[in-house]
Amino acid sequence: MFSKILIANRGEIAVRIIKTCRKLGIATVVVYSEADADSMAVEMADEAVFIGPPPAAQSYLDAAKIIDACQRTGAQAVHPGFGFLSENATFARALESEGIVFIGPNPHAIEAMGDKIESKKFAAKAGVSTVPGHVGEIDDPAHAIKIAEEIGYPVMIKASAGGGGKGIRVAWNRKDVEEGFPAVRAEAKASFGDDRIFIEKFIESPRHVEIQVLGDKHGNVVHLFERECSIQRRNQKVIEEAPSPLLDEATRNAMGEQAVALAKAVGYDSAGTVEFVAGQDKSFFFLEMNTRLQVEHPVTEMITGVDLVEQMIRSAAGQKLPFAQKDLKITGWAVESRIYAEDPYRGFLPSIGRLVRYDPPAEGEAHGTIVRNDAGVREGDEISMFYDPMISKLSTWATTREAAIDAMGRALEDFHIEGLGHNVPFLAAVMDQDRFRSGKLSTNYIKDEFPEGFHGTAPTGFQRDVMAAVGCAMHRVMTRRAAPHLMREDWVVVENGDRRQVRVSNGDDSLTVAFQDDGRSLTLTDVDWRPGKPTFAGKLNGEVFTAAVRPAAEGFVIRHRAAQAHVLVLTPRSAELHEKLPPKKAADTSKMVLSPMPGLVVSLDVTAGQEVRAGEAVAVIEAMKMQNIIRAERDGTVKAVNAKAGDSVAADEVLVEFA
Ligand code: ADP
Ligand code: ADP
Ligand code: MG
């Protein structure tokens, strides 16, 4: 066994590998670029070696620097994680020639599977069912059209060297091929330095199901069942689960056997994944093999109890697999959500920046469920533009799919991030959808369910109750502090303009909100909130919840999962007056200048008391390396300035308020 391993990667996967090395008593070395000097991986590893500037080509992709780092530290083996050099056979060979072990498959297997055209040929020979199509290079648009018409539309134009969802395009007709062929070719050339293109049948409304395989250097290969990764945007996975709700035992076995047959045919000797595209009728076709650890490996670990990183290290060290196929079984159900720095309300655009707040849910086992959060960041860290904008991978396990999804919903409630756009509300919305819960998945899921994009969800009855109770509780605490003489029992709660009369009273360690119209009452207990805290946790009539809360110019903005409301708590008299006010258009934000994106305040160009005219510059915010001038939308007098140069602001954070 190795005594020291170098990890040629960064972020959550570097941290993930360090954890297993610690368990095995193996010392760790990480390499890091300038952008990662203060990262969690660097802090956790036993040693860290600086390898250059932030762009990956000059650091994480520079094989010579990584080999040099091994030699300087005496690392005997390299774990490449995923991405970067993980599927680079030249790198694996270079290590070998220096006497360093590559923790991954042998270079021959990487080469055979690394290329989509070659791997399809190989798979067909090994008896694996492949997507109907043309297994060979295509030279020009005319050739592409001829092939597409032989296969029959729709077809998929793919880069042979593609990965990470890049270099893929669907064509529904001749015109799409004419336009798509050169576009995919250009993208392939730019992203992978290889412009070989092929075409295959596009399977409509497909599902993505993949088989985890594991081999050793003694000819043994097993599979660790399947994962379903159909919830994708831009051909990239966002939610994965294991097992798949599509498969029955017979299909699972057939897929598993084909995956093992392919792995054996190629002499596979590490962890790898055979990806299939499956029809709703459970037909399935080979897509590609990823010759590395997969992003979504935690769900497999949770249902099998196998540590895949440990097994990769052991087989790289020449050990035999400690189990046979018959020893493996599926226990329970696991779901993974990829938490991305991207703005679901703005077409999932990357939204990098600083994690001003980062407060993940507690990990571990409780009430028969397990929560696991694979992260490589801490509060205050930056999600940089140089690398993948993933913040963490949140996984939950339970004995049934339904319970695992419920646990994920709860864990997402407890995930609090500020400072950049993130997809937590979006993920929560999916967990609450009947279609997702019933397992009717497809890679079109996001397009089907959110045709106009994601704009949050309308609150359910329970969520409206949460918002009313939380609003009353926060209002009561703040009134008691600021104006105790105004304490009273009768209030009117206004949620997104909808008003209800309530009677609010305190018990011992509880707050009761009784609705005057229907006589229902809500009891809030186990409250965890104080003024200034951005989350409000508690139990509502015994049901646990966490809401994200923030004060607005008037009242509060309260979000529970994907539903958000502006909540006001008013005296009956001011509610009456309020009702007479003309309905406000863009809520209260007409009196504020909000930051349109997360970013850094470069300058704030107005001061309290200043008269400002519509169109005048109010502030400059830097985001994604661009300076954006924020202008006043109306004439007015500045009442308050809430930010200053150097602050990190979230999207919609109030920069300036007008009188
Ligand atoms: P998974 O199937 O595990 O989701 P992806 O294909 O999405 O894998 O890729 C996993 C990671 O590897 C991502 O960070 C992706 O950006 C990166 N990646 C995958 N293929 C390539 C490639 N050919 N070149 C560079 N990065 C890649
Ligand atoms: P990458 O290397 O980028 O992961 P894949 O070949 O695995 O590329 O394809 C990525 C995704 O695109 C798949 O998960 C699947 O959703 C979709 N896809 C790929 N090929 C097809 C196909 N022939 N028909 C339908 N969908 C496909
Ligand atoms: Mg793939």
Closest CA to 404 of 372, 429, 382: 372
**Using CA atoms, how far apart are residues 455 and 432, in angstroms rounded to an integer?**
15
Rounded to the nearest angstrom, the distance between the alpha carbon of 292 and the centre of ligand 3 is 12
Say yes or no to pLDDT of 561 above 80: yes
Question: Is the bond into 243 cis (omega within 30 degrees of 0)?
Answer: yes
- 154 preceded by cis ω (within 30°)? yes
pLDDT at position 625 is 52
Which residues have CB under 6 Å of ligand 2?
Answer: 131, 156, 162-165, 168, 200-203, 206, 208, 232, 235, 275, 277, 287-288, 443
Burial class of residue 605, CB neighbours in 10 A (0-12, 13-18, 19+): middle
pLDDT at 586 over 60: no
pLDDT band at 587, cuts 50/70/90?
Answer: low
141: CB partners within 8 A, 6+ apart: 177, 178, 181, 182
Q: Which ligand is nearest to the CA of 160?
A: 2
Task: Report the catalytic residues.
Answer: 288
The CA 239 to ligand 2 mean position distance, Å, reads 15
Q: What is the largest CA-CA distance in the chain?
A: 83
Please report the domains of the chain, with CATH numbers, ordered by start residue.
4-103 (3.40.50.20), 132-201 (3.30.1490.20), 461-578 (3.30.700.30), 592-658 (2.40.50.100)
Whole-angstrom distance, CA of residue 303 vs CA of residue 520: 42
Say whether pLDDT at 373 is over 80: yes
At 352 the pLDDT is 84
The stretches of 292-356 forming alpha helices (DSSP H) are 297-304, 308-316
This prediction's pTM: 0.86
- Proportion of the chain above pLDDT 90, given as a percent: 81
Question: Which is nearest to 511 in space by CA: 523, 498, 520, 521?
Answer: 523
Average confidence (pLDDT) over 561-579: 93
The mean pLDDT of the chain is 94
Out of 170-179, 253-262, 324-333, 635-644, least confident range:
635-644
User: What is the band of 615 on the pLDDT scale with cuts at 50, 70, 90?
Assistant: confident
Specify the pLDDT at position 346: 82
pLDDT over 90 at 552, yes or no: no
- For residue 173, the model assigns a pLDDT of 96
Structure tokens at 26: 């193996």
Whole-number Å distance between alpha carbons of 598 and 382: 12
Q: In what order do the strands lie in the sheet with 133-134?
A: 133-134, 197-201, 155-159, 168-171
Q: Residue 613: pLDDT band by 50, 70, 90 thresholds?
A: confident
What integer pLDDT is reported at residue 599 of this predicted model? 79
pLDDT of res. 424: 98
Q: Is residue 569 predicted with pLDDT exceeding 80? A: yes
Which of 58, 36, 54 is CA-nearest to residue 45?
36
Residues with CB under 6 A from ligand 1: 82-83, 163-165, 192, 236-237, 290, 294-296, 388
Q: How far is CA 253 from the centre of its chain?
A: 30
In contact, 654 and 553? CB cutoff 8 Å: yes
Residue of 203, 57, 41 lying closest to 132 (CA atoms): 203
Residues 502-505: contacts with CB within 8 Å, 24+ apart?
502/468, 502/472, 504/472, 504/476
Residue 4: predicted pLDDT: 98
pLDDT of residue 482: 87
Which pairs with CB-CB distance under 8 Å and at least 24 residues apart come from 574-581? 575/492, 575/494, 575/499, 578/494, 579/499
Express each pLDDT in 184-200 by its tens digit: 999 999 888 899 999 99
Q: Nearest ligand, CA of residue 232?
A: 2
Ligand 2 pocket test: pick from 147, 168, 201 the residue with the most ligand atoms within 8 Å of its Cβ. Answer: 168
